[in-house]
Amino acid sequence: MAGHHRYHLDQNGHSITVVHDLRRQRAEVWVDGKTVAVARTPRHEVTVLEGELPTVPSRRMLVMIDHPYDRDDIALCVLETDGNRYLMPHVALTPQERQPAERTPPAATPGQLFARWRARHRHRRSDRRA
Q: Which of 40-44, 61-65, 106-110, 126-130 has the lowest mean pLDDT?
A: 126-130
Tell me: do 121 and 57 sit in the same domain.
Answer: no
DSSP state of 51: E
Can you give the CATH number for the domain in which 55 is found? 2.40.128.180
Structural domain containing residue 115: 103-129
Residue range 47-92, pLDDT digits in tens: 999 999 888 888 999 999 987 677 667 888 999 998 999 999 988 7
- Burial (CB < 10 A; 0-12, 13-18, 19+), residue 68, is middle
Tell me: do 31 and 88 sit in the same domain.
Answer: yes
Tell me: do 8 and 52 sit in the same domain.
Answer: yes
Tell me: do 68 and 41 sit in the same domain.
Answer: yes
What is the count of structural domains for the chain? 2
Residue range 3-17, pLDDT digits in tens: 788 999 998 788 999
pTM reported for the whole predicted model: 0.67
Whole-angstrom distance, CA of residue 81 vs CA of residue 13: 13
Tell me: do 109 and 91 sit in the same domain.
Answer: no
| pLDDT at residue 1 tops 50 | no
